[in-house]
Structure 1
Amino acid sequence: MNSKHIIGFFSIIVFLLSCSKDSKTETKSQTTLVKTELGNHIDSLLTPYVNKLRTLTDNTTGLAIGITKGDDIIYAKTFGFANIETQEEASFKTRFHIASVSKPFTAAAIVKLVQQGKLKLSDSIVKYIPEFTMKSDAYKNITIQHILNHTSGIPRHVSADDWLSPKVGINALEENLENVKNFELDFEPGTQFSYSNSAFDILGVLITRVSGMSFSEYVSKHILEPTGMTESTYNKPIDSLPKHWAKSYSYGLTNQEWQPYPHTDKYLPSSGLQATLLDMCKWGIMHVNNGTYNGQEVLDKAHFNKFVEPTYDTPWGDKIGLSWFLQSYLDRPIIMHTGADTGFESIMYIFPDDNISIVVMANRDFARTGRIINAASEVIFNEKPKDYKVSARYKFSETYKSQGLDKALLLWNEMKTDTTDIYYVNDEDILTVGAILENGKHWKDTKEILSYYTTIDDTSTYAWRLLGNAHLNLQDTINAKKCYEKTLEINPNYEKGKDALMRLNNE
C-alpha cells in the first residue's frame, strides 16, 4: 500500500470515528441537555431523586422534565420508554398528550383575538354562537371570561365515553353545542368557581367562528408557531399512533397500555395538545419574557398581562387568571396548571419573579409529576427535596406476582400497621389495581383482586360491575349476572349496571 493509499485509508477511519462520535453526541442530545452551573446543580440532585422515585413506583414508562432560566433551557431530560413494547425511549422528539395543560393555549388564542380587536372578554358566548343554548335562560349571560376562569356554571362534563368513539374534523367541535343543550347551569354565571372541561370546548367553536380558521389552525399559526413550538400538534389519526408519540400506560400489576388513547377532536380546546419537551420549554420562556419568544411577539405585553392577572378566587384560597392558576410554592408566586387523563400526567410551573419555568410530562398515570416538579423547585431554590410516601400497591403487586393473593394480602395488612417505612396503605388502591387489570383484559387477576375488594367495600357499583365483566369474560354468566344485579341493588339508577345486565340478557 503506497503512501497515498495509506493517507486515504486513515482519512476514512478518522471520518468513520468522527461520524460515530457525532452519532453518539446526537443520541445523547435527544435525551439530555444540561447547561450552566444551576443546570449542573439540578442534574446532580434532581436526577437521582427522580430515578429513585421511579424505581420505587416500578415505573419504566416515559418522563420528561424541562427547566428554563431566562432565555435558556438549562435542564432537559427524558427517562424511560415512550413505547415499552417497541423499546422506544422517550426523547426530545417524543410527543406527550398534555391533557388540561392544553387549556392555557386555548386561553392564549382567545387573548390573541382580543389583541386583534376581534372580540372582548366581556362579550357573551351567544354573540358569536347564537345557536348555543341550555336549559333556562341564564346561559345567555355567560361571557368569554366566565369560561376562561371557570365561573360559567357549565357542568364539568356534558358528554361521556368520547375516547371510545373519537371524532375528527372541523365538525367535531360543533357536537359540543348539541351535547350541552339538555343541561342546566350549575349556578348563575360569574357567581361561583367550578372547573369545567366542557365549557372550554365551547371556546373552540368560538375561535373557529371568529377567526375564520379551524381551531387547530388558528392556535398553531398565532400561538404555537410564534413560540417556536413547531413539533407540537393537535392532529392525530383515529386508528393509529404516529411515530414518536408516547403511548398511554397505567399500572395494575405492571406497566400496561391503557385503552383507549385519550384523544378526540371534540376535546381539543380542553385537553388535545400533543407537545414535545423542548417545545414546552419554549412556552415557558415565552411566559418569563411577558409574551415574547426569541424576539417574536406572541402577545403584546398589555394583553399578556391580562392572560396572567387574577380574575377570580378559587375555593382553595388562591386565584385564577385566564385559565392559569395563580398560586405560590416555597413562598414564591407561581403560574401553574396540571393535566391528567388516564395514561398521562403533566404539570407546569412558571416563577415569574425568578424568570424560571418548569414542565414535567409523563405517559403513565401515578407518575408523581406533582412531587417531581416540587422537588425540582426545591433544588432550584436551594431547599432539600422533601421526602415522600409511596403507595403500598407496588409492594402488593410485586408479592402478588411472585407469591399469589394470600401472601400479597398478608403483606398488605402488615403494612397497614407499619409506620416505620415509606409506604402508605389505602384500600382504594386495591380497587384501582383491579380496574386497570380489567381495562387490560387480565380477567383471572381482575376476578381474584376485585372479589377480595368487594369484601372490603360491598357498596361499590364500580367494583361489582368490573367484577361482573371479569366473570363474563371467563364464561361465568351466572356470577356475572349476580354482579350486575348487585350494582342495581346498591343503586337502582346505575345506568352502566342496567346496560351490562341488558346486554347479558340479550345474548
Structure 2
Amino acid sequence: MTKSIHFLLLLFLFFSIRTNAQAGKSNPVFENDIAIENWLRENNVPVLGIGIIEQGKLKQIKIFGEIKKGITAPYNTIFNVASLAKSITSMVALHLVNSGKWNLDEPIYTYWTDPDIANDPRSKKLTTRLILSHQTGFPNWRWMKENKKLSFDFEPGTQYQYSGEGMEYLRKAIENKFKKSIEQLASELIFQPLQMNDTHYIWDKNTDESRFAIGYDKEGKPYELIKNKKANAADDLHTTIGDYGNFLVHILEEGNLNKNVYQEMIKKQVKTKENKYFGLGFEIYDLGNGELALSHGGSDKGSQCITFILPDTRQGILIFTNADEGYKVYEDLLINYLGEKGKRIIEIETKN
C-alpha cells in the first residue's frame, strides 16, 4: 500500500502549470469529450472520472477511457482515491462529536497511546481538533523516519504538518472506545445513510473487481492490484464519482451537523500558505470577498484525485484518475467548470 501525501499532488500541479507558463504554453482546452479522450491516450491515463455539482446537486457524472483494453469504463467505475479517505474519517469523528459521544478537544490518550511515544509527555496533548487540522507534530508516515518509529517533529498545536499517522492515531482511539472498526462506523454514519454502496476502506467480497480502475504509471504500465483487508483511515479508500459526489453534496448541506460543529469544520484552524488553510478534514482556500473553497486530494501510485466544493455558490467538482500523470488534467478542468473561481484556486496554489 502506497502512502503518498496530498501536498505532493498539489506540488505536481504547481510544477505542471509553472513549466507550461515558462515555455509559453498552456494545457489543451477541452472543447469537447473527444478532446478529453485524445488527451487521455496521449498521456497514458486510462480512466478519468468527473463529477460536477451545481446548485447543491450532483448534476453530471462523466467517465472517460477504458477500464481494460477495449472495454469502456462504466458509469460507476470504482477508483482508489487514496487520501480522500481522510475526509470520510474526519466526518465520522465530527458525527460522533455532533452526537455528544466524542469530544473535539479532549486529549485522546485515554483511548489510545502509541507505544512509540508512550513516554513522551506530548502524547497527552493530542486532540481530535489537532489531528483533523494536521497539527499533531507527527511526520506523514513513520516509515519515512530512519528508525521507522513514530515520534514528534514539533510540539502539538504549534504548526501545520500533513500527517497520515495522525489520522491512523485517531482511528485507533475511536475504534478502542466504540469497539467498532472505522469501516463499521463509516457505514453506519455515512455510507448507508447516503447510499454510498461502492465506498469502502477495505477490499471485501462485495467489491466488484470488474469495475475497479487499476492504477497505471507514466509509461502506461499497470501497477500490481493490492486488495487491502485492513482499513487505513488516511489512505486507499475505494469509491465512485457518484458515491463521493453525494458525500460532497452532503457536506454542502452542512453534513447533518449542528451549526457549531459545522462552523468548526469550515473554520480556518491553521494557515498553510497565503490564502490557504486547513479546517477539520478539509483544506480551505480563501477566494476573497468572503468566499471559500473546501478541498482535499489523493495521490498514490496510479491514483491522482482531487475535489473542490464552494459552499457559497453551492458548486463543486470531483476529478478522479487512475494514473501517475492524471494530475496534469486538473488545471483545464478547474477553469472549464469553475471559471474565475477555478483560476483563483490555481493562483493560490501556485503562488510562492
Are 1:151 and 2:135 matched, yes or no?
Answer: yes
- Contact 1:310–1:321 at 8 Å: present in 2 too? yes
Are 1:339 and 2:292 matched, yes or no?
Answer: no
CA 144–384 in structure 1, closer or farther in 2 if over 3 Å, else same = closer
In 1, Cα distance between equivalents of 2:32 and 2:316: 15
The alpha-carbon deviation at position 305 of structure 1 amounts to: 2.5
Structure having greater relative contact order (Cα 8 Å, sep ≥ 6): 2
| Aligned match for 1:285, one of 239, 244, 249 | 249
In 2, Cα distance between equivalents of 1:204 and 1:382: 38
Q: How many percent of aligned residue pairs carry the same amino acid?
A: 23
Aligned to 2:236: 272
Are 1:81 and 2:40 matched, yes or no?
Answer: no
In 1, Cα distance between equivalents of 2:213 and 2:138: 32
In 1, Cα distance between equivalents of 2:305 and 2:63: 14
The alpha-carbon deviation at position 282 of structure 1 amounts to: 0.6
- Contact 1:70–1:289 at 8 Å: present in 2 too? no
Query: Going by fraction, where is helix more abundant, 1 or 2?
Result: 1
The structure with more radius of gyration:
1
CA 382–343 in structure 1, closer or farther in 2 if over 3 Å, else same = closer
In 2, Cα distance between equivalents of 1:70 and 1:148: 28
Aligned to 1:127: 110
Aligned to 1:34: none
**SS at the partner of 1:232?**
coil
Are 1:218 and 2:185 matched, yes or no?
Answer: yes
TM-score by length of 2: 0.79
- Contact 1:67–1:75 at 8 Å: present in 2 too? yes
In 1, Cα distance between equivalents of 2:116 and 2:245: 39
Aligned length: 310
CA 214–101 in structure 1, closer or farther in 2 if over 3 Å, else same = same
**SS at the partner of 2:299?**
strand
In 2, Cα distance between equivalents of 1:334 and 1:380: 14
| Aligned match for 2:78, one of 87, 95, 98 | 95
The alpha-carbon deviation at position 234 of structure 1 amounts to: 1.9
**SS at the partner of 2:110?**
helix
Task: Describe the superposition over 1:349-388 as per-residue Cα deviations: whole angstroms up to 9, x where unpaired.
Answer: 001111011101111111126x43x4333233556998xx
Are 1:62 and 2:29 matched, yes or no?
Answer: no
- Contact 1:126–1:132 at 8 Å: present in 2 too? no
TM-score by length of 1: 0.56
Aligned to 1:234: 201
**SS at the partner of 2:155?**
coil
- Contact 1:62–1:89 at 8 Å: present in 2 too? no
In 2, Cα distance between equivalents of 1:110 and 1:47: 39
**SS at the partner of 2:59?**
strand
- Contact 2:275–2:286 at 8 Å: present in 1 too? no
**SS at the partner of 1:334?**
strand
Cα RMSD, aligned residues only? 2.9
Aligned to 2:216: 249
Aligned to 1:326: 284
CA 96–214 in structure 1, closer or farther in 2 if over 3 Å, else same = same
In 2, Cα distance between equivalents of 1:225 and 1:116: 17
Are 1:50 and 2:15 matched, yes or no?
Answer: no
- Contact 1:46–1:376 at 8 Å: present in 2 too? no
Counterpart mapping for 1:54-453 below 5 A: 54-59=40-45, 61-84=46-69, 87-130=70-113, 133-134=116-117, 136-159=120-143, 182-237=149-204, 242-252=209-219, 255-259=220-224, 261=226, 263=228, 265=230, 268-291=232-255, 297=256, 299-315=257-273, 317-328=275-286, 333-368=292-327, 371-372=329-330, 374-382=331-339
CA 314–351 in structure 1, closer or farther in 2 if over 3 Å, else same = same
In 2, Cα distance between equivalents of 1:366 and 1:131: 36
Runs of 4+ in 1 over 6 A off after TM superposition: none
In 2, Cα distance between equivalents of 1:70 and 1:319: 25
The alpha-carbon deviation at position 326 of structure 1 amounts to: 0.2
- Contact 1:64–1:78 at 8 Å: present in 2 too? yes
**SS at the partner of 1:125?**
coil
Which stretches in structure 2 are left out of the alignment for 5+ residues? 1-29, 344-352
- Contact 2:49–2:320 at 8 Å: present in 1 too? yes
